[in-house]
Structure 1
Amino acid sequence: MAVFCKAVADGLLLTLSLALLGWGAEGQGNGRGMREVSGRATVYLGQDRDIWRPLIHTTVNLSEISSIKSSFQLRTFDPEGIIFYGDTKNGEDWFVLSLRDGIPLMQISKGDMLVSVVGGPKLNDGKWHTLEVSNHGKFVILEVDGSNGLVVGMQSKQTEEFISGQLRLALGGILIDKEKMIVQFEPQMDGCVREGSWLNISVPWETEAEELRPCYQNIQPGSYFPGTGFAIFNTSVSPTEADNEVKIELWGDFSQMDGTILSINAPGQELMFALMVNNNTKEITIFAEDKITTKNYNKRLAITIQADSLTVIQEDDESTAIYIFSHPGYLTTWREGRLAIGGLLGEGEDNVGSQFLTGCLKKIQVQGKDLDLDLAVKHMSISSHSCPA
């Protein structure tokens, strides 16, 4: 996959349409500047914050724990990200459960042991799955939908010690340095957790967020743009193919979208290229050297950038339209520029709120590889891997 580094994004405002949302986590203040949340609440893990920082967390005295089992339900299309974390001894012994390639990954540190194990079924199918993590003597067991997903055995030559003090739990982040883990991964998770039962404790969890973002009641694969922000990639670090061309492909029902689908420019230069769709007129507008407006019947849009030409292909189930623009420097601008998905780059980009995309892009590819919006600088309202169904 072409690797894109994060670029500097402009400050953007969030306005989510509650009509598209299902239910969320409710909470109240605790007098310490944090809101309290029930452990059984439905929590969207992809809410914007420092990407390694927990979304919600709790601390409990080990003497109050009567069960060494935690269970919860998880739903996601995202193949990678942190689910939950726990530790004792202020982070000396710790446990991390995440997904990588859609498969559960457990990493455990205890005394002189550091263990990493991956296995079980793929969970990023958009369905609710019940996960249960429990400790049985020298074994840590992860059950998925009632069946063993992972079993990790650990035995140390060190003398077992009685552990006292506190235990910390966190959802969507970790409380240790990420460099301590054996397996590195992207932490952001576009997913939801609900119905949590955490070590049979009833103490509330805490969050620093002023408001927890709700979860969509039903979802489908794709990247959802609610009309409040866009994702920016730095294309100057994107390698081009040996034949010196770049191909960008987008799939979706464009007749249900409104706003800017995509734009490209280089710093200090005029807008090189943009695609915009109008849901009222059912038209799509292509901005390059010329401006072309056509009827919007698309299921797929493909843009090919070469040294002195740019080709746009509109395609649905029955027909194809091709538009070619000629001008020197297209590929040079790409190599020096930025790619925005869901918004308009260029002069006045601080004031283009009406141009933000509203709708679901089912798939985005660059050079034939899926583009992961988690690798972009993006507005917190964008869901990288799921759309409301």
Structure 2
Amino acid sequence: MAMFWKEMAGGLLLTLSLALLVRGAEGQGNGRDKKQVSGGATIYLGQDRDFWTPLIHTTVNLSDIRSIKSTFQLRTFDPEGAIFYGDTKDGLDWFVLSLKDGIPLMQISKGDVHVSVSGGPKLNDGKWHKLEVSNQGKFVVLEVDGSNGLVVGMQSEQTEEVLTGKLRLALGGILIDKEAMIVQFEPHLDGCVREGNWLNLSVPWDTEAEELWPCHQNVRPGSFFPGTGFAVFNTSVFPIEADRVVMAEFWGDFSKMDGTILSIRAPGQELMFALVANNTTEEVTLTFGEQRISVKDTLKKLAITFQADSLRVLQDEDESKTTSLSVGSESRPGYLNMWREGRLAVGGLLGDGEDDAGSQFLTGCLEKLQVQEKDLDLDLAVKHVSVSSHSCPA
């Protein structure tokens, strides 16, 4: 074993991590108030939890490791998020494989060596990609769909030690402080893994989830709201200058939506604004105070422009279908503040508490949402519940 670990210096830790990624979505109790997950099936990584907390994790003896190659398939439209994590020495030596800008990002910390490398093709195209990680001497090689995608070499001046003890593995999160990352990234990944072949080891993974969410067989780009949660933002995060026009644009099949699409509340004020789809009345209703605009739900795009003294609603880019509301700041003193200090919710109606309690949750798929002509990434919300941020069932 000593010679084995010496040959695997630097690269083995990453390879081992791939060994035990995902084994399926069937769980059973283990007598420790945790569910155990067996291998072989597909697992959805974007399930609700604290985003840095792994979805599943396990611990194995290093002496049980025999294989040095692992393969799995990944499918996502999400450009950024954690795939898996592994460490030895209770987190002193660690690695993370993630995506950033859709490209594989590998980070490794081992002794006095700290490495961060990204490269290879973009993987967030919604297609299944086969990834293989293997050790070749002092190099760790990530192959994507049969071609080299990323090669990492590591060498230390320190005397190589024989590794003993435990290896901790985690899927969809990390087990150390996020500040230890060499490159910071958003951890939540709306994606799936399947068909893993992980170092020929068969051990159970633990999960704190009562049940694991399944992956949809076919997906398309968008944000899916199952009717049980929403995403909340502080409006101060949007780069909006004083008195400047603000535009919010929505794409999707509104006839297949039901519930609150967007709501905004200014500090210390009643609900300022709500956009609600109703399958029963077959209408989409915009509410500002006592004023309302209703349109048929057959539209595919809705653009709402917030001006200093009015709201302008444009349907399907057809100027003949434009409606305006007068909402001057004199009659609504909190109107301008809602885009400076307020809260914005996508997929639910904001409550009046600071805990962002909501209701009337949206059911349906928003194909795209932009604020100030920039895509709104729901993963950046201060609260994010039961939303698939980058994919909808096809």
Query: What TM-score, normalized to structure 1?
Result: 0.88
Contact 1:264 1:271 in 2 (8 A): yes
Gap runs ≥5 in structure 1: 1-23
**How far apart are residue 41 of structure 1 and its match?**
2.9
Contact 2:226 2:363 in 1 (8 A): yes
The one-letter code of the counterpart of 2:362 is L
Contact 2:25 2:43 in 1 (8 A): yes
Q: Determine the C-alpha separation between the residues in 2 that align with 1:345 and 1:51.
A: 22
The one-letter code of the counterpart of 2:348 is G
Q: Determine the C-alpha separation between the residues in 2 that align with 1:294 and 1:265.
A: 23
Q: Give the 3 Å change call, closer, same or farther, for CA 379–115 of structure 1 in structure 2.
A: closer
Q: In terms of mean alpha carbon deviation, does 324-333 or 229-238 score higher? A: 324-333
Query: What corresponds to 2:316 in structure 1?
Result: 315
Q: Determine the C-alpha separation between the residues in 1 that align with 2:124 and 2:146.
A: 17
Deviations 1:98-145 (A, max 9, x none): 000000000111221111100001000111111112222211111111
Deviations 1:136-175 (A, max 9, x none): 2211111111111101011111222211111111100111
Q: Determine the C-alpha separation between the residues in 1 that align with 2:338 and 2:85.
A: 43
Q: Determine the C-alpha separation between the residues in 2 that align with 1:111 and 1:303.
A: 54
* Pairing partner for 1:336 from 341, 346, 356: 341
**How far apart are residue 358 of structure 1 and its match?**
1.0
Q: In terms of mean alpha carbon deviation, does 324-333 or 290-299 score higher? A: 324-333
Contact 1:86 1:94 in 2 (8 A): yes
The one-letter code of the counterpart of 2:163 is I
**How far apart are residue 70 of structure 1 and its match?**
1.9
Query: What corresponds to 2:170 in structure 1?
Result: 170
Query: What corresponds to 1:12 in structure 2?
Result: none
Contact 2:267 2:338 in 1 (8 A): no
Query: What corresponds to 1:291 in structure 2?
Result: 292
* Pairing partner for 1:361 from 358, 362, 366: 366
Contact 1:38 1:204 in 2 (8 A): yes
Query: What corresponds to 1:65 in structure 2?
Result: 65
Query: What TM-score, normalized to structure 2?
Result: 0.87
SS in 1 for 2:269: coil
Q: In terms of mean alpha carbon deviation, does 320-329 or 164-173 score higher? A: 320-329
Q: In terms of mean alpha carbon deviation, does 119-128 or 205-214 score higher? A: 205-214
Contact 1:269 1:346 in 2 (8 A): no
SS in 1 for 2:63: helix
The one-letter code of the counterpart of 1:69 is K
Contact 2:243 2:308 in 1 (8 A): no
- Percent of matched pairs sharing the same residue: 75
The one-letter code of the counterpart of 2:323 is I
Query: What corresponds to 1:13 in structure 2?
Result: none
Q: Determine the C-alpha separation between the residues in 1 that align with 2:121 and 2:226.
A: 32
Query: What corresponds to 2:48 in structure 1?
Result: 48
Q: Give the 3 Å change call, closer, same or farther, for CA 245–25 of structure 1 in structure 2.
A: same
**Larger RCO (CA under 8 A, 6+ residues apart):** 1
Q: In terms of mean alpha carbon deviation, does 291-300 or 344-353 score higher? A: 344-353
Query: What corresponds to 2:210 in structure 1?
Result: 210
* 1:93-242 correspondence to structure 2 within 5 Å: 93-241=93-241
Query: What corresponds to 1:281 in structure 2?
Result: 281
Aligned Cα root-mean-square deviation (Å): 2.1
Q: In terms of mean alpha carbon deviation, does 294-303 or 314-323 score higher? A: 314-323
Contact 2:54 2:173 in 1 (8 A): yes
Q: Determine the C-alpha separation between the residues in 2 that align with 1:191 and 1:141.
A: 23
Deviations 1:164-220 (A, max 9, x none): 111111100111222222100000111111122222211111111111111112110
SS in 2 for 1:324: strand
Contact 2:230 2:348 in 1 (8 A): yes
The one-letter code of the counterpart of 1:324 is L
